[in-house]
Structure 1
Amino acid sequence: MPTVEQGVRRLPSGRWWEAVRVPAYRARHVLTWLGSTSGAVLLHQDAEPIYTWLIRLGAADMWDQATLGVMVPRPGTVIRVPPATWCGGPGTRWLVPTGPTGLTSPDRLRRALEQTPLGGTYA
């Protein structure tokens, strides 16, 4: 985890965790469905806000990304990660702060994705 002095760091997906990127229009439903069982969630406030859940390595290997309406970046893809205390303001921040592991249960995340309206997918 980066320090405040380091600011946002670019860390590789597939080394400590796997990233699951969910578009904003679905992420709100997923957050509601998961409730307090959600692990840490990154919010990348770019032109199109993207929410990123972190799950254990290899957990999404067999997921049909198009059907679930998510994008799971290949190992080595850079993910912007802020210091643990950055939970507000513009830019990249934690929407749900990190906990002891910071990881969301991949089974619960998949179930939440299956229960929320698709409305569009990553191309």
Structure 2
Amino acid sequence: MTTRTLPWEPPITEDVEALPIGKWWDAVKAPSNIAERALETLGDKTGAVIQDEHGTLYWLVAVGTATSWQLRQVRVLTEPTDGNTYLGVPPVSWTEGPETHWRVPLTANHYLTDAGKLWGALAEADRAVLGPAPQGRQTCYRCELPTDEPVIVDVQHGGSGAGRTIYACPPHARIYQRDPVAEAAARRGALERGRAR
């Protein structure tokens, strides 16, 4: 078996090194709640993966293979037209946290992840974690700003009429708490109206 050589040199320093995105690879960034599911789905089909100190995972993919993706909370990092974007890349020997490290170690034969397989795993994780994707922009219940990545956090049913769907932007979806008192009152009101008919 012949061992390939990488088209770039991983850091041989004693610290994380900022390397330009879009030169040798693009990066796909996903928060831990989605990334962990995707990583499990990919299994041994994943390439090398970087995990930062916050738990966010970064897959390296071939340049230009993921630029059209639209997945909630997933970001494709590529070279912008007006400058450079960098990714903190740890030394190859860093394979354990809590600092930035290689969650899936980098080797010459274990390098880029196939973008199509990664998209499928991330899309499946997106649906499993965040639920169905609403169409179009929605307004976040908390910040009251429109978001292109709405997450359904609650569906409130009306007594005899239509209910309403409550949306949140990704940061506020994590902190949404249902109001059990209001839900119980709405149910009781619906029952009472049903008996009065």
Matched, 1:70 2:74: yes
**1:83-112 per-position Cα deviation (integer Å, ceiling 9, x unaligned):** 111101321100000122510000100010
Residues 1-123 of structure 1 mapped to structure 2, 5 A cutoff: 1-3=10-12, 5-46=13-54, 49-66=55-72, 69-75=73-79, 76-100=84-108, 102-116=111-125, 117-119=128-130, 121=170
Kindly, what percent of the aligned residue pairs are identical? 34
CA distance in 2: counterparts of 1:74 and 1:61, whole angstroms = 7
CA distance in 2: counterparts of 1:122 and 1:36, whole angstroms = 31
CA distance in 2: counterparts of 1:40 and 1:93, whole angstroms = 11
Q: Which SS does the other structure have where 1:72 is aligned?
A: strand
- Note the residue ranges of structure 2 that are not aligned, 5 or more in a row: 1-9, 131-150, 152-169, 173-197
CA distance in 2: counterparts of 1:96 and 1:15, whole angstroms = 21
TM-score by length of 2: 0.55
Q: What root-mean-square deviation, in Å, do the aligned CA atoms of Structure 1 and Structure 2 show?
A: 1.9
CA distance in 2: counterparts of 1:89 and 1:45, whole angstroms = 7
Query: How many Å apart are 1:73 and its aligned residue?
Result: 2.2
Write the letter of the residue equivalent to 1:72: V
Judged with a 3 Å threshold, the aligned counterparts in structure 2 of structure 1 residues 59 and 118 are, in CA distance, closer, same or farther, namely farther
CA contact (8 A) 2:64 2:78 kept: no
Bigger relative contact order (CA 8 A; separation at least 6): 1
Moved over 6 A (4+): none
